[in-house]
Amino acid sequence: PFSAFLTDSFGRRHSYLRISLTEKCNLRCQYCMPDEGVKLTPRSQLLTTSEVLTLARLFVREGVEKIRLTGGEPLIKPDIVDILKELRKLEGLKTIAVTTNGMNLARLLPKLKEAGLDLINISLDSLVPAKFEFIVRRKGFHKVMEGIDMAIEMGFNPVKVSLKVNCVVMRGLNEDELLHFVALTEKKPLEVRFIEYMPFDGNKWNFKKMVSYQEMLDLIRQKWPDLETLQRQVGFITSMSEHFCGSCNRLRITADGSLKVCLFGNSEVSLRDVLRSGASDKELLQIIGVAVGSKKKQHAGMFNISKMKNRPMIHIAAPPQPWRSGGSRAPHREGFLCLWDFTASTQAAHVCSSSGGTHATDSLRSVAPLHYPNLVSASSRTRSRSSDCSARPDDSAEAQLTHMDGEGRVTMVDVGGKAPMRRTASASATVLLGTTAFRLLRDHQLAKGDALATAQLSGIMAAKQTSALIPLCHALPLDHTSVTFDLVEPQNAAVVTATCRCTGRTGVEMEALTAASIAALTIYDMCKAVSHDIIITDVKLVSKTGGK
């Protein structure tokens, strides 16, 4: 069976890993890097080649079949050929790919192919040399074309799906070259993939610059009404206008060792720190499994992504996979990752968001002593949810805090004018117990008695007391409250799910969250005599109906 650690709560199996080998690049593409450049991470904080290979072996052992090497520009990495040779030795790894700007490709390609390279993606955004230089802020068009021609000569081609050209389409810059790129596929045996312009830190994205997949398709069909008649394939990466998150099988490791489960998510967890803390493979897998399990159903949409803080593209690299004119939509899924990174040095939890190669952290209070350094929060992956909370109140640019008046003073919301309606909400919390406490809980052998039955009662009681605990909550007549538990053995975790229902003028989210939190605290109390390494985490709203 496929590894549970690489399977998320929606059943998606992550068999494709992208590894950034460096943040450095020999070009300065406008959509990838801010005008002022980016601050590079100190070398000591980047993954070493040995660490890259250690992580690669671990992921391949768990079921990863394809690894793509990215950057920055991976072909400026001095030991790129040696890395390829070592990856080729990994049993179970079927495909090794590289995404490159092509500047060094002609010089290195013979050695790369001999080392075991299977697939090449080459970034090329203009077929006009002067425009190429304007977009990438460097000379080198003829070097890129030389690399493409050599790859074709050496047998890389779209029939084997081994040679692709990536073109980021930007309005007012290169959308007039769409037909020229399509025509290129008739002259040369390669596939062209048109990429919608995506928002990343510092690239000045706005909706007006983006040329949508549908608009590109309409332009191309003016000359080629039936795309199936094209001699070679044309693909589209439609992450903005028509996301394909539901079938994503990709994970990313940045050059500084952070695991990103979503290209557009700004939260991540440092595998580098875990490796350097001396953690075992088992501990690493637990952290990876929790991160993968926390993946959301889909990303937040292009307008919300454009407002989020994220790494510059050069610190992430490698676009998602396309829809092709000659086939079905390839698997892809991007979403949000909400992780807490517990560090032994601070004894506090941090939500880590990358910004220009550094980590900005918001300290939170840790609810329990640490199990081991850099443990991240857990998320239930035992069942899929009927609704997802990816639509959040702050998605609107006009969102306001309703518990503050016009002068910033705390106030209670007046719901008297609202009509009563049926409302429900579900919330969850995860308790990471450790091996011994989990076993005793599961087998009903705790000295204090039945922890789950006690936690169920405490959660129900807490829901009824929410207005007494949370100052500005309204007292609601609950019609029903349920508290259930899932025991997730690979993570030694108990996942609490609380559901509240009422007929009233305001929602029951806080009642559900309070019930889940208190039930989790009760489990902690029932188990604390066995272990001091218990962690409560990932308290979140899962779904709601009624109202906004």
Show which residues are catalytic.
525
- SS3 (DSSP) at 13: strand
- How far is it, in rounded angstroms, from Cα 339 to Cα 276? 20
Alpha helices in 73-127 (DSSP H): 80-88, 105-115
To which residue do tokens 């440092």 refer?
A: 270
Q: How many CB atoms lie within 10 A of CB 48?
A: 14
DSSP code of 397? T
Rg from Cα positions in the chain: 25
- How far is it, in rounded angstroms, from Cα 516 to Cα 497? 6
DSSP secondary structure letters along 163-192: EEEEEEEBTTTTGGGHHHHHHHHHHSS-EE
For 291: left if phi > 0, alpha if psi spans -120 to 50, otherwise beta; the answer is alpha
What are the CA-CA distances from residue 531 to residues 206, 323, 370, 380, 528 (Å)?
A: 51, 50, 11, 22, 5
- How far is it, in rounded angstroms, from Cα 541 to Cα 520? 14
Cβ pair 504, 345 in contact under 8 A: no
The terminus-to-terminus CA distance of the chain in angstroms comes to: 41
SS (H, E, C) 497-533: EEEEEEEECCCCHHHHHHHHHHHHHHHHHHHCCCCCC
User: Percentages helix, strand, coil for the chain, rounded to the nearest 5?
Assistant: 30, 20, 45
